[in-house]
Amino acid sequence: MTTATAGPASTRRTGEELVLAVHAAALAEIAEHGLRGASMDGIARRTGTGKAALYRRWSNVRELGLDVFLTTMADSSPANYPDTGSLREDLLGSLRGFAGLLRGPLQTVLRELISESTHDPSLVAEFQARVGEPMQAQRIAMLQRAMGRGEIPTQPIDPLVFELPPAIVLHRLLLCGEVIDDETTVKLVDNVLLPLLGYRR
């Protein structure tokens, strides 16, 4: 008779400790099975807790996967637009940080969520509220610092300029199956973003 493989021994965790453990388990489960193949049972086993503890906070795997992705992005927000004293270095740090996040299991979660968002606008709305709007505020602060240093002209900037980097990163990821490397990151900043911003070397 074959015995089923047991998950980690159940441990009593609460609050932030439990949330961190569940997020790590969800990342592993979704990376292995995809968003549709992952299960709350599997995540509970990996966490070493009961399903009831999961359902008290998340109603399904999709909601949990979204929370994992958005929380990870929000936690990295200080690095989204770092204050290095140089606009070029701020932009390089931002893109390198974003690309670095996508080199782990978070890449699979993002792919799956993009697929789900095509028929669920609430995913897009929640991403905008939890990640998009805070990042926009950081971006404005970064540009104000650069204008104050005289690196770029003090003038309105077309928001489309800042849609280019994530669009290129996601294009490479979804259509080419790769995360942009450092050489491409430097070219994107030096040859595309800085000229569009009127950067003064």
Kindly list the domain boundaries of the chain, sorted by start residue: 9-60, 76-196
Question: Is residue 7 scored above 50 in pLDDT?
Answer: no
Same topology, domains 9-60 and 76-196? Answer is: no
| Contact call for residues 111 and 174 (beta carbons, < 8 A) | yes
Task: Band the pLDDT of 8: cuts 50, 70, 90.
Answer: very low
| Residue whose entry in the numeric block shows the structure tokens 């080419």 | 176
What is the average pLDDT score of the chain? 85
Read off the pLDDT of each residue in 89-113 and give the average, rounded to a whole number. 85
Q: What is residue 173's predicted lDDT score, i.e. its pLDDT?
A: 86
Question: Is residue 140 scored above 60 in pLDDT?
Answer: yes
Q: Which amino acid makes up residue 111?
A: R
Among 8-12, 31-35, 125-129, the minimum mean pLDDT is found in 8-12
User: Which CATH architecture fits 76-196?
Assistant: Orthogonal Bundle (1.10)
Question: Is residue 71 scored above 50 in pLDDT?
Answer: yes
The answer, as to whether pTM is greater than 0.85, is: no
Three-state secondary-structure class, residue 38:
coil
Read off the pLDDT of each residue in 145-160 and give the average, rounded to a whole number. 94
Q: Which of 41-45, 122-126, 134-138, 163-167 has the highest mean pLDDT?
A: 41-45
Instruction: Compare 56 and 15 and report the one with higher pLDDT.
Output: 56
CA pair distance 137, 162, nearest whole angstrom: 13
Task: Band the pLDDT of 77: cuts 50, 70, 90.
Answer: low
Q: Which of 12-21, 60-69, 107-116 has the highest mean pLDDT?
A: 60-69
Question: Is residue 32 scored above 70 in pLDDT?
Answer: yes
Cβ atoms within 10 A of the Cβ of 101, count? 17
CA pair distance 55, 62, nearest whole angstrom: 12
Homologous superfamily in CATH for domain 9-60: Homeodomain-like (1.10.10.60)
Instruction: Compare 78 and 72 and report the one with higher pLDDT.
Output: 72
CA pair distance 74, 184, nearest whole angstrom: 25
Question: Is residue 109 scored above 90 in pLDDT?
Answer: no
CA pair distance 182, 162, nearest whole angstrom: 19
